[in-house]
Amino acid sequence: MTPPAPAAPAGPPRAGQRGACRYGWTDEAETAFTAHRAAGLVPARVARAHRGGCDVVLGGRHSPTVPGDDNGGYGFGGDEQIRAVVPPNLAGSPPSTGDWVALRPAAGGTAATIAHVLPRRSALVRAAASGRSDPQVLAANVDLVAIVVAADVPPDLGRVERLLALGWESGGTPLIVLTKADAPGHDPAGAPSPRTATRHDEIAAVAPGVDVLVTSAVTGAGLDALAGTLAGATAVLVGASGAGKSTLANALLGADLLAVGAVRHTDGKGRHTTVSRELVALPTGGVLIDTPGLRAVGLWDAEDGLGHVFAEIDALADDCRFADCGHVSEPGCAVLAAVDAGHLPARRLDSYHKLLREQEWMAARSDARLRAERERRWKEISRAQRRLYEGRGGGRR
Pairing of strands 278-281, 287-290: antiparallel
Report whether 54 belongs to an annotated binding site.
Answer: no
Q: Which helix (H) or strand (E) holds 204?
A: helix 194-205
Virtual torsion, Cα 186, 236, 288, 20, nearest 10 deg: 160
- Rounded CA-CA distance 190/228 in Å is 18
**Torsion sign over Cα 369, 374, 379, 380:** positive
Report whether 62 belongs to an annotated binding site.
Answer: no
Report whether 180 belongs to an annotated binding site.
Answer: yes
Report whether 325 belongs to an annotated binding site.
Answer: yes
CB under 8 Å to 9, separation ≥6 — which residues? 21, 24, 25, 26, 27, 232
Report whether 182 belongs to an annotated binding site.
Answer: yes
Report whether 240 belongs to an annotated binding site.
Answer: yes
By CB atoms closer than 10 A (0-12, 13-18, 19+), residue 396 is: middle
Virtual torsion, Cα 127, 100, 106, 21, nearest 10 deg: 140
- Rounded CA-CA distance 205/19 in Å is 41
Report whether 326 belongs to an annotated binding site.
Answer: no
Query: Which candidate, 233, 192, 230, 247, places its Cα nearest to that of 214?
Result: 192
Rg (CA), the chain: 23
Residue 107 three-state SS: helix
Number of continuous H segments (helices) and E segments (strands) in the chain? 11, 13
CB 36 within 8 A of CB 43: yes
- Three-state DSSP string of 139-186: EECCCEEEEEEECCCCCCHHHHHHHHHHHHHCCCEEEEEEECCCCCCC
Report whether 247 belongs to an annotated binding site.
Answer: yes
Report whether 351 belongs to an annotated binding site.
Answer: no
Report whether 354 belongs to an annotated binding site.
Answer: no
CA of residue 38 relative to chain centroid, distance:
34
CB 182 within 8 A of CB 218: yes
Report whether 179 belongs to an annotated binding site.
Answer: yes
Report whether 324 belongs to an annotated binding site.
Answer: no
Binding site as annotated, residues for GTP: 179-182, 239-247
Binding site as annotated, residues for Zn(2+): 320, 325, 327, 333
Binding site as annotated, residues: 179-182, 239-247, 320, 325, 327, 333
